[in-house]
Structure 1
Amino acid sequence: MQRKERIKNLLSSLNKNLYERQEPIQLALLTAVAGESLFMLGAPGVAKSLIARKLKFAFTAGQSFEYLMNRFSTPDEIFGPVSIKKLKDEDKYERLTDKYLPGATVVFLDEIWKASPSIQNALLTVLNEKIYRNGEEDVKVELRGLIAASNELPAKNEGLEALWDRFLVRYLISEIKESGNFINMLTSSEDVYEDTVSEELKITAEETQQWSKEIDDIELPTEVLNTIQLVKKQLDDTDNQLGTVYMVSDRRWKKVIRLLKTSAFLNDRKKVNLMDCFLITHCVWNQPEQLDKVRHLVSEVIRKHGYSISLNLTGLRQEIIELETEIEKETKIKHITTREELYPVEQEFYQVLNLESSMDGKYIKRADFDRLNQEESTINIYDDNFKLTYKVKAKKPSVQHQVHLFHNSQLLALGLRTHKVEKDEIIYKKAHHLIEKYWNEKLEELLTYVNENLQKLDTEKPEEWYELDQNLFVDARLAPIVKANLNDSVNQLNDIQLKLEKLKYYYKNLE
C-alpha cells in the first residue's frame, strides 16, 4: 500500500464515529509525524481530549497521558513521582516516568496555561528538544504528539510567551455546526473511544525515525519559498505598523517549513507544493480575530504569486489594438447628417408655434406630447411664465413635429419649434482584397501565437497540478486559489482568441 493511501485510510479510521472533526484530526496526525505540537482553543465539551485519545491509536503500542491542569498541579502529577528507592539506596533524585508524560506516545494537557512555572520550564525542553531531564540524566522521550487545550489564550505579562510559541499549530475548535451531524452524534451508540485503526495502518517507532530522515530531504521549490517570504514580509509590515501583532520568530518559521515538508511527504511527494502553504494559516495567528485576516493574507499571496508561466500579453494586446485601428480606418467612413428635431424649452416643454394668436398660451409639456396618439386626449397649455392657462383636447397627427388642438369647436393644426441637429453616421465599406489578404496573414500570425501559448500553458503545468485537490491535510476547495494565476492566463488568451475571430468575421462579411 502506498504511503498516501495508507495515511488516507488511517485518517478515515481515526475519524470513524466522529462528526465535523476531520480537520483537527488531520492536523493532530500531521503535527505528530512532524514532531510538533498542537494547541486547541475551544469551550469544554467539544472533543478536544477525544482527539488526543484517538491520535494514540495511530501508533503501534501507543500510550497516552492526559491531565487537567490547575494552579495547584505539581511536577509529580505530570512527570511522575520521585523514586524513593533511588533516593534511599543511591542518593539519586529521579522520577518514575512510566505511565506519565515522559513515557507516553501522545499527551493531552488541558487548561495548559494554569501550569506552574516549574512544569512550564520542563515542558519547554520536552516540546523543543524531545528531552526530559530526570535528575542528572537527559532522557530522550518517545513523544510523538503533544496536544494542549484551553478555553482561553495565555494571559499577557505572565511569562507564558515562550510556552505559547512552542505550539506550532493553533486550532480554533467549536461545537458541531451542521444540524444533521448534530442529530447523528446524539443518536449514535458507537463507542467513540474504541480503537478503530487496523494494525497494518498504524505507524511504528521505526517508521517514525525513518520518515523523519526522509522528511528532511523533501524539496522546497522556488514558488513555495517566494510565497513564504511574501507572507513573512506582510506579517512583519503589520508588526512594524501596529506593534507586536504576529511576531513570528525565525525558529517558528523553521518549524513551519518542517510541517510543510511533512505534509508533502505524507502525500507521497518529493517536494512541497502551494497547497501545503495553506497550512501556514494555522501557525501564525495569536488571537482568534486574526484568523480570517491571516487566511485572507495567505490566500491572496498564493493567488497572486502562485504557479505562473511567462507570457508577453502586453505586447500581444498592443499589436491587436494597432490592427483594430487599421481595420476601422479602412472600413468605416464617418458621415455627418443634419436633421430637424424638436427643441426642448427648459428641458420640460415644447413651444407650439402661433398658438398665442388663438389663446393665451405658448407651451405644452414634453411628457404630454410624448403620450399623445391619434386618439383625442386632454393636455395642458402653459403661458410664457410656464403657468397653466388652458386644458384642451389634443391628438398627434401623422405629420411630424405637429400637434392638433381643439379649441372653441375649431381644429388648430400647429407646428412645434424645432432646431437642426448634426448627427455622425458610420458608412461601412469593404476593404481592397490585397489589404484583406494582409489582415488575414496578420490575424493568422496572432492566432498561432495565442494557440501556441495555450498549448504551452497546458503542457508546462506543474506535475502536481491535477492532484492539488487531493491534499490529505488541506481543504480541496482551496485548490482553485492555487490554480488562479495560470487559469487567469488561459482565460485571457481565450478572450484574445475570441476577439481576433470576431475581428476577422467583421471585415470578411462587409459588402
Structure 2
Amino acid sequence: MREELQTAETARSLRAITDELSGRYLERDDVVRTLVVSVLAGQHALLLGPPGTAKSELARELTGRIEGGTYWEILLGKFTSPTRMFGPIDVAALARGEYRQVYEGRATTADIAFIDEIFKCSTAALNETLGLLNERLYHPENGGAPIHCPLISAITASNELPTGEDSAAIYDRLLVRLEVGYLVDPSNFAALVRSAVERPEPAERTTIGLAELRHVVNVAVPAVAVPDPIVDAVCTLRASLRRKELVASDRRWRQSMRLLQASAFLAGRQEVADGDLAVLTHVLWNSPAERPLVEREVLQLVNPDAKEALDLDDAIAELEVELDARAGRSREELSEWAIKEANKKLAGAGKRLTAMRSQATTVGRSTTTLDRVITRQRAVHARVLTEALGVDASLVQAQL
C-alpha cells in the first residue's frame, strides 16, 4: 500500500513537471509531454528543428528535474572520438604500463543523456553509440568485458535529418521523433519578446529522485494494463498505414507499447486508453512529410472529431498559401480578398475549433491536435489582419 501511494505521488510530481515546462516553453505542450513519456518508457527521443527553437534548453530543463542522477551532455562533430564520449585514456596509468579508461563523467556512467547534433556522430564512434542506445553497453578500447551503462533515456537533437547510412542507423534507434519549430501564434511571440526585458517571477520547480524514476520505468509503467481493444486498434492502425505504404519495423511497433503504458501512467491511470494512442503520431513516420498522414490515421482511432479538425487545418494552410501568392498584388485587391473570403473563413474555423475543444474537454478527450490547429488558425488570421487589412499588430489579439 505504501509503495502504491509513493508511486501515485511520483506520477503527480511528473504531471507537475510537465505542466511547469509547458507553461515555460510556449507552443511546446505536446513536445514536453511526449518527452516525459519517452523517459518514463525508457526510450530515446529526437528533437528535430532549426536552430533557436529551445531544443537544448528544454532538454536540459527536463533532465535537470531528476535529482541524484548522473547527467551527461555532448555536442557531436564528425571527428568526435569514442574516448571523448565513453572515457579518455588514463595517462598516469599508461605511464605505468597499464591501459585504462576513465569513465566518470562520460556516457558510460550517465543515467540521463542529452546528445546534440546526434547525426554528426563520427564513424569511429558509431558502433559504440549504437551499443549505448540499443543495449546500454560499452565495449572498452582494450577489448575487455562489456560495461553495462545505467542509461535510462537519451534526448537527442538535430537541425536536420540524417543523410548517410551511418546516421540513418542511429535515426532508426530513436523511437520518438518530435518536430520543433518557431513560434506561430502572434501572442506567444509577443510574450517571448517581452520575456527578454521583463524580470520573471520565481517559478515553481518540481523534481523527482533518481530512485523514484527508476522504479517507475522498471516497475510501475510495465505494470500498466493494455486491454485487448487497444491491441486491436494498434493492429488496425498498422494495416491502415501499410495500405498507404507507411511501414514501421516490428521492433518499433513493439517498443511503442511501452510508450502507451507510460502515457497512461503519466495520466494517473492503470490501463491504457484510446487517448494514449495519440503518442504514436511521433513514432511511425520516417520523414516530416509523412507525419501529417500518420497523424490523421492515428487520430481517427482516438478522436471522432479528428477528421474535421485536420480538414480545417488543411483549409487554413490553403488560405496561408493563397495569402503568400497574393503578396505582390495591389493592396486593394488583397483587402477585398481578405474581407470577402479569408477573414470570414478563418473566423468561422476559429469558432468551430473552439467549440470542438470545449466539447473534447467536457468528455475528457485529448485536445493536443485541436490546440495545434487553433494555434495555426490564430497565426494565419493575424497575418491576414495585419498584411491584408492593415490592422495594427498590437491590436491583433483583441481582433481575435
TM-score for the superposition, normalised by structure 2: 0.69
* Distance of aligned partners of 1:133 and 1:227 in 2 relative to their CA distance in 1, 3 Å threshold: same
For residues 29 and 96 of structure 1, the distance between their equivalents in structure 2, rounded to whole angstroms, comes to 31
Q: Considering only CA atoms, is the larger Rg found in Structure 1 or Structure 2?
A: 1
In structure 2, relative to structure 1, the CA distance for the partners of 1:15 and 1:106 (3 Å cut) is: farther
Q: How does 1:337-486 map to 2 (within 5 A)?
A: 468-469=364-365, 475=368, 477=370
SS at match of 1:269: coil
Matches of 2:56 and 2:189, distance apart in 1 = 19
Give yes or no for contact 1:69–1:111 (8 Å, CA) kept in 2. yes
Shift of 1:86: 4.0
Q: CA offset at residue 20 of structure 1?
A: 2.0
Kindly state the Cα deviation for residue 18 of structure 1 after the two structures are TM-superposed.
Answer: 2.6
Q: Equivalent residue for 2:377?
A: none
Counterpart of 1:46, as a letter, is T
Q: CA offsets, 1:214-270, max 9 Å, x none? A: 22222111221111101111222333xxxxxx4311111111001111111222212
Would you say the 8 A contact 1:14–1:197 is kept in 2? no
In structure 2, how many angstroms separate the alpha carbons of the residues matched to 1:295 and 1:77? 39
With over 3 angstroms needed to count, the CA separation of the structure-2 counterparts of 1:269 and 1:86, relative to structure 1, is farther
1:124-180: CA deviations, max 9, x gaps?
111122222334233332323312221211115x23332111100001110111122
Amino acid at match of 1:279: V
Q: What is the DSSP-based 3-state SS (H/G/I as helix, E as strand, rest coil) of the residue aligned with 1:67?
A: strand
More helix by share: 2
Instruction: Give the corresponding residue for 1:176.
Output: 183
Distance in 1 (alpha carbons) for counterparts of 2:110 and 2:261: 25
Give the secondary structure class of the aligned counterpart of 1:234: helix
* Counterpart secondary structure, 1:197: coil
Equivalent residue, structure 2, for 1:14: 21
Q: Specify the alignment match of 1:276 in structure 2.
A: 276
The residue type equivalent to 2:120 in the other structure is K
CA drift at 1:213: 1.8
Q: For 1:430-463, what per-residue CA distance to the aligned partner results, in whole angstroms no more than 9, with x for missing partners?
A: xxxxxxxxxxxxxxxxxxxxxxxxxxxxxxxxxx
Q: Say yes or no: does 1:60 pair with 2:70.
A: no
Match of 1:219 among 225, 229, 254: 225
Describe the superposition over 1:349-369 as per-residue Cα deviations: whole angstroms up to 9, x where unpaired. xxxxxxxxxxxxxxxxxxxxx
Alpha carbons of 1:211 and 1:290: their partners in 2 closer, same or farther (altered >3 Å)?
A: closer
How is 1:297-376 mapped onto 2 (pairs within 5 angstroms)?
297-302=297-302
Where relative contact order (Cα < 8 A, 6+ residues apart) is larger, the structure is 2
Q: Which whole-Å CA distance do the structure 2 matches of 1:105 and 1:184 have between them?
A: 35
Distance 2:167 2:243 in 1: 25
Contact 1:56 1:105 (C-alpha < 8 Å) held by counterparts: no
In the other structure, the counterpart of 1:144 is 152
Query: How far apart are the structure 1 equivalents of 2:178 and 2:27?
Result: 14
**Alpha-carbon separation, structure 1, partners of 2:81 and 2:290:** 34
Question: Per the alignment, in what secondary structure is the counterpart of residue 146 of structure 2?
Answer: strand
Alignment of 1:61-80 (within 5 A): 61-80=68-87
Q: CA deviation at 1:466?
A: 7.7
Deviation at 1:13, TM superposition (A): 2.9
SS at match of 2:280: helix
Q: Which residue does 1:112 correspond to in 2?
A: 118
Count of paired positions? 305
Relative to 1, partners in 2 of residues 1:265 and 1:160: Cα closer, same or farther, differing over 3 Å? Answer: same
Unaligned runs of 5+ in 1: 240-245, 307-464, 479-511
Match of 1:43 among 42, 50, 56: 50
- Kindly report the root-mean-square deviation, in angstroms, between the aligned alpha carbons of the 2 structures: 2.8
CA distance in 2, matches of 1:161, 1:248: 14
Q: Name the residue aligned to 2:355.
A: none
Tell me what 2:134 maps to. 128
Structure 2 equivalent of residue 247 of structure 1: 247
The aligned residue for residue 197 of structure 1 is 205
Match of 2:30 among 23, 38, 50: 23
**Distance in 1 (alpha carbons) for counterparts of 2:160 and 2:59:** 19
In terms of fraction of residues, the more strand-rich structure is 1
Structure 1 residue 62, shift from structure 2 partner? 3.9
Q: Is the 8 A contact 2:15 2:266 kept in 1?
A: no
Amino acid at match of 1:36: Q
**How far is the alpha carbon of 1:90 from its aligned partner?**
6.5
CA distance in 1, matches of 2:57, 2:74: 13
Rounded to whole Å, the distance in 1 between the matches of 2:216 and 2:20 is 23
Partner of 1:84: 91
**Aligned-residue offset at 1:22:** 2.3
SS of residue matched to 1:259 = helix
Whether contact under 8 Å (2:42, 2:217) holds in the other structure is: no
Aligned pair 1:290/2:290, yes or no? yes
Counterpart Cα distance in 1 of 2:156 and 2:223: 29
Distance in 1, Cα, partners of 2:64 & 2:204: 8
Does the Cα contact within 8 Å between 2:274 and 2:301 map onto a contact in 1?
Answer: no
Aligned residues of 1:130 and 1:141 also touching (Cα < 8 A): yes
Identity of aligned residues (%): 27
Residues of 2 paired with 1:132 and 1:57: CA distance? 25
TM-score, reference length from structure 1: 0.55
Aligned-partner Cα distance in 2 for 1:196–1:130: 33
Q: Which of 163, 187, 195 is 2:194 aligned to?
A: 187
- CA distance in 2 between counterparts of 1:97 and 1:16 reads 37
**Ranges of 4+ aligned residues in structure 1 off by more than 6 Å:** none
